[in-house]
Structure 1
Amino acid sequence: MQNVGLLYCGAVLFINALMLLGKVDSKSAGVFNLFLGAIQVITPFYVIFTAGSDSWVIFNASGVFLFSLTYLYVGITNLKEWDSAGVGWFSLWVAFMAVGYGIMSFVHFHDPKFGIIWFMWAFLWTLFFLLLALKKDIAIFTGWVTLIQALITTTIPGFLMLINVWDSIGVEIMWIVATLFVIITGSLYYQKVSIRSKNVVKVTKYST
């Protein structure tokens, strides 16, 4: 994925996170999704058309479409006020593909740092599937996870690539980041479950 595109993926995830947290209007977020989605559709097409017969360059460029099509779909859905189930089911397919890109990052490209990032993205798209397609009550939880990933999987890596520092970051650092992400995500989910349990107890208590 190209460095600038990765950096601004962080901007879209940041806005979408604030939307899920109730801080940004869905239509306002939809406009930004459309804008970035359109830009990121153009870039991979150019790479593919100029790649010749290099199938692995085409493979890398194709990963950008997972983001751009998601952003376009979210943008149109928000602006038209359509049901979000379509985006949710599309997110399930994208999550499945993200796992494949993650595996190839480890196995073929020997790039465990991006392999880890792809797996984190797969988790995020899975949350979108649960939230938008299955209508699970995880909007706030998904919003916080999206906000965290906006920083650690897109904005910071993209910026470090632009200043030629990313390659000097050891894979150990990425594993530490991933571990902290799992711990924080687990804590957020546990907190959500605890709050729900307390609310259920209160309702039961007052109803009796």
Structure 2
Amino acid sequence: MTDVGLFYVGAVLIVNGIMLLGRISARAAAPLNLCVGTLQVVIPTVLIVTTDGGGAAIAGAAGLYLFGFTYLWVGINAATGWPPEGLGWFSLFVAVAAVGFAARTWYDGGRLFVVFWLAWAGLWLLFFLVLALGRTELTRFTGAVAITEGVLTAAVPAGLALAGLWIDSAAAALAATALGGTVVAALWLVTRPASIDASTPARQG
């Protein structure tokens, strides 16, 4: 994924997370989704056309299309009022594919982006649960995770790369994994549905 594209992926994940938290409407988020989705479709197409068509170029383009199609679909659904179930099932496809891209990244020598790909797999799995299976009790948690990943797996890494400050290492990947796990656990505690708390049996004193 290009640094510029990743930077704007951060922006759209943050905005979509705010949408899932109910702070803005889907129609209000539609323009950014359409713009970033178009960017994430045009860039890989240009990469394929202008390179020798090698395996690395094709694999990189395939990853970009996953996100581009997602954001275009979000924007189109918001503009048309189409139901979200189709996008939800596509999100499951993206989640599974992201695990494969994590493995490919590991094979290519990347470490931090292995963590990022797995984080994106988890987020798109949440999209599947909310949009396709109707698990609306997970909506706030999904929104919070989207905002967090928009910052930590997209906007900040892209900003560091654009500034020439990006460093990838196994130690950094381990630190990112520990930080990510801690943050996700904290987000769940803050956003978990009240019904889950209410269903927990009270202790007998």
Q: Normalising to structure 2: TM-score of the pair?
A: 0.91
2:66 matched residue in structure 1: 66
Take 1:140 and 1:86, find their aligned partners in 2: how far apart are those partners? 21
Displacement of 1:54 after TM fit?
1.5
Structure 2 matches for 1:24-43, cutoff 5 A?
Answer: 24-43=24-43
Structure 2 matches for 1:1-208, cutoff 5 A?
Answer: 1-107=1-107, 109-136=108-135, 137-166=137-166, 168-193=167-192, 195-200=194-199
State the Cα deviation string for residues 57-106 of structure 1 (Å, max 9, x = none).
Answer: 22112211011000001110111111111110000000111000000000
Distance 1:38 1:194, change over 3 A: closer
Question: RMSD of the alignment, in Å?
Answer: 1.8
Q: Normalising to structure 1: TM-score of the pair?
A: 0.90
* 2:98 maps to amino acid: A
Take 1:173 and 1:90, find their aligned partners in 2: how far apart are those partners? 31
Moved more, 85-94 or 75-84: 75-84
2:14–2:146 CA contact under 8 A, matched in 1: yes
Displacement of 1:112 after TM fit?
1.2
Distance 1:192 1:15, change over 3 A: closer
Displacement of 1:169 after TM fit?
4.4
* 1:118 maps to amino acid: W
Take 2:81 and 2:122, find their aligned partners in 1: how far apart are those partners? 26
* 1:138 maps to amino acid: L
Give the paired residue count.
200
Displacement of 1:200 after TM fit?
4.9
2:111–2:168 CA contact under 8 A, matched in 1: no
Take 1:153 and 1:193, find their aligned partners in 2: how far apart are those partners? 23
2:115–2:176 CA contact under 8 A, matched in 1: no
1:205 matched residue in structure 2: none
* 2:6 maps to amino acid: L
* 1:177 maps to amino acid: A
Take 1:127 and 1:32, find their aligned partners in 2: how far apart are those partners? 21
* 1:154 maps to amino acid: A
Q: Taking every aligned residue pair, what percent have the same amino acid on both sides?
A: 35
Distance 1:51 1:23, change over 3 A: same
2:203 matched residue in structure 1: none
2:106–2:114 CA contact under 8 A, matched in 1: yes
1:89–1:133 CA contact under 8 A, matched in 2: yes
